Amino acid sequence: MACTRAADHLYIVRARRRRGRAATISQFFADLPSDVERADSQTSSRPTDLPRLSTPRDASGLANDDLRRRLRLMRDDIARINFCLPEVVLSDAEIRRIVDERPADLEHLARILGPLTAQRLGASILRETVAFA
C-alpha cells in the first residue's frame, strides 16, 4: 500500500499480488466513501496480453547457475564450520569470476583468489568446477 502526499489529489496504490499470493485491501481503505473514484471501476488502458521480456535460458546459462549455487553452498558449509560469515570465505565477486573462468588447476585459481585462499579452498572449488566442465 502506498499513498502520495499531494495538494490536489490523493492517490492510493496497492499491489494485487504479493510474493505470488493475492493481496487483500487494507482494513483502513476497505470502507471508503462511495464518491471516491476507484481504479477498479475505470477501464484500463494497459494491454491485456503483454509480451514476454525474458528469453529462455540456454544450457550453459543453467549450468553456470547450478555451479554458482553449488559454490555458494560449499562456501556456506565452510563458513558454518569456521563460525564466520560466508562472504569472508569467498565473496560473490570471486564466485562470479570462478564461474566465468572455470579454472582447471590451482595456478589459475590462485590468479583469481590469491595463493593462500587457493591453497586453502582449491581442492573443494576445483572439485565443483571439474564436475561442471
What architecture (CATH level 2) is domain 59-131?
A: Orthogonal Bundle (1.10)
Domain boundaries, the chain: 59-131
The structure's pTM equals: 0.56
Rg (CA), the chain: 25
User: Which residue's C-alpha cell is 489529489?
Assistant: 9
Q: Tens digit of pLDDT for each residue in 54-86? A: 666 677 778 899 999 999 999 999 999 999 999
C-alpha cell of residue 17 = 499480488
Q: Tens digit of pLDDT for each residue in 112-129? A: 999 999 999 999 999 999
Q: Tens digit of pLDDT for each residue in 4-47? A: 666 777 666 777 777 778 877 777 777 777 676 666 544 555 56
pLDDT of residue 6: 67
Q: Tens digit of pLDDT for each residue in 82-105? A: 999 999 999 999 999 999 999 999
Q: Which residues contact 111 (CB under 8 A, 6 or more apart)?
A: 103
Handedness of CA 72, 78, 79, 80 (dihedral sign): positive
